[in-house]
């Protein structure tokens, strides 16, 4: 699965994207975050305040409880500030 990071989430992790193969026990976006925070201090810092993290699954806004089974692209980013 391809994981994308944007804005300060990207800066804290130090990566714009990575390919990850989480264990089969990881079924939702929230469980993926639980797994990602163990990968590096940067990951842990980026996800320290979960309430400020927005999620997109296959480029559609999603919630932590949404399934990521079979998903090819998931993105994590702060609330949007365009316009």
Partner 1 sequence: MAIRLQEGPFDLGQEISIMTAARKDVGAVASFIGIAREDNPDEGAEPVIAMTLEHYPGMTERQLMAIETEARGRWPLIDCLIVHRFGRFEPGDPIVLVVTLSSHRQAAFDSCNFLMDYLKTQAPFWKREETVSGERWVNARLSDNDAAERWEGQH
Q: What CA–CA distance (Å, rounded) separates 66 from 83? A: 28
Handedness of CA 63, 67, 68, 70 (dihedral sign): negative
- Rule CB under 8 A: choose which of 24, 25, 49, 81 binds partner 1: 81
Residue 79 makes contact with partner 1 by CB under 8 A? yes
Strand partners, 17: 4
Examine residue 51 and tell whether it contacts partner 1 (CB under 8 A).
Answer: no
Compare residues 34 and 64 and give the one whose CB is closer to partner 1: 64
- The residues that touch partner 1, with contacts defined as CB under 8 A, are 4, 6-8, 56, 59-61, 75, 77-83
């Amino acid at each position: 699965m391809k994981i994308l990071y944007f804005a300060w989430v990207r800066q804290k992790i130090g990566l714009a994207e990575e390919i990850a193969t989480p264990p089969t026990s990881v079924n939702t976006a929230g469980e993926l975050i639980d797994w990602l925070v163990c990968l590096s201090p940067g990951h842990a810092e980026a996800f320290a305040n979960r309430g400020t993290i927005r999620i997109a699954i296959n480029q559609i806004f999603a919630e932590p409880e949404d399934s990521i089974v079979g998903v090819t692209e998931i993105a994590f980013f702060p609330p949007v500030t365009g316009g």
